[in-house]
């Protein structure tokens, strides 16, 4: 079984997916971390983030791999753990450039499609492009202000700066971020994290 949870930036995809995965006793898969890993490696090597061939060469050398655990995904490049470095504002600002490159999308999709079921997959195009056959699909939204207020609890920048960056990233990610026609769209704005997880479990017939 595959459950997909897509949505806009900072809409709660990874927190919600982790909660749903733990309730189901299966892993979740954070596809955005692979785009973030490619971005981090590109920034560290000083390559042009528009240069797909240079990025693919780095991915070939460092071979980053996703460890999809229910409590939180980790990314490794050989013995080095990249996870903590993947959510900096620098990576946030560059990742949308990398994520529109067809060659990079093909690389991420190929990694994801090797993973053994069952799992919850979160990202932008899990329900549309990568796993169109998924048994259940959800799509999370919330206003930019609410998302910025939530994110401000974990970043040093102030709410207006985070909100502006989220609006910019939404625009850049728009092409690959449309909800699947058969996805249940959830406005998380008025809901707590536990509330969103509860709505999804209810939708899966696993509610309490
Ligand atoms: N319904 C909610 N109510 C309150 N806080 C929430 C809710 N959903 C998520 N959060 C909080 O919002 C922040 C962003 O959530 P999270 O990192 O899961 O989003 P994301 O969509 O995976 O982000 P990104 O697109 O940047 O990877 C976290 O601090 C999380 O705890
Ligand atoms: N399936 C996906 C997952 C992610 N992306 C892009 C869009 C984001 O800007 C970036 C990081 O994702 P996040 O950690 O914010 O979920 O990667 C995508 O295009 N497709």
| Substitution candidate for ligand 2 out of 13, 28, 31 with most atoms within 8 A of CB | 31
Per-residue model confidence (pLDDT) at position 156: 78
What is the 8-class DSSP label of residue 126?
A: I
| 84 alpha carbon – ligand 2 mean position (Å) | 16
Amino acid 169: pLDDT: 87
- Residue ranges and CATH numbers for the domains of the chain are 2-202 (3.40.50.300)
Predicted pLDDT of residue 118: 96
- pLDDT value at position 182? 97
Report which bound ligand comes closest to the CA of 31. 2
ipTM: 0.97
pLDDT confidence of residue 157: 84
Residue with tokens 């709660």: 12
What are the residue ranges in the chain where pLDDT is below 70? none
Choose one of 2, 9, 10, 124 to mutate for the ligand 2 pocket test, by most ligand atoms within 8 angstroms of C-beta: 124
Of ligand 1's listed atoms, the one at least distance from the Cα of 140 is 21
Q: What is the pLDDT of residue 69?
A: 82
* CB-defined site of ligand 1, < 6 Å: 7, 9-15, 32, 150-151, 153-154, 188, 191-193, 196
Closest atom, ligand 1, to C-alpha of 142: 1
Query: Residues within the annotated binding site for ATP?
Result: 7-15
Q: Which residues touch 29 (CB under 8 Å, ≥6 apart)?
A: 66, 68, 73, 112, 115, 119, 120, 121, 122
pLDDT, residue 188, reads 97
């Amino acid at each position: 079984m595959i459950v997909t949870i897509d949505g806009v930036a900072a809409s709660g995809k990874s927190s919600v997916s982790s909660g749903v995965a733990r309730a189901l006793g299966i892993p979740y898969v954070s596809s955005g971390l692979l785009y973030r890993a490619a971005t981090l490696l590109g920034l560290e090597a000083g390559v042009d983030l528009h240069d797909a061939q240079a990025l693919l060469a780095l991915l070939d050398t460092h071979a980053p791999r996703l460890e999809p655990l229910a409590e939180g995904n980790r990314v490794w490049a050989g013995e080095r753990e990249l996870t903590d470095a993947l959510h900096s504002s620098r990576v946030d600002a560059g990742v949308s450039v990398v994520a529109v490159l067809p060659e990079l999308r093909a690389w991420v999709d190929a990694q994801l499609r090797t993973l053994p079921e069952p799992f919850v997959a979160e990202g932008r195009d899990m329900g549309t492009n990568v796993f169109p056959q998924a048994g259940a699909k959800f799509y999370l939204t919330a206003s930019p202000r609410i998302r910025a207020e939530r994110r401000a609890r974990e970043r040093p920048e102030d709410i207006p700066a985070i909100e502006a960056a989220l609006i910019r990233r939404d625009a850049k990610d728009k092409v690959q971020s449309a909800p699947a026609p058969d996805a249940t769209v959830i406005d998380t704005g008025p809901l707590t994290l536990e509330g969103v997880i509860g709505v999804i479990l209810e939708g899966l017939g696993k509610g309490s």
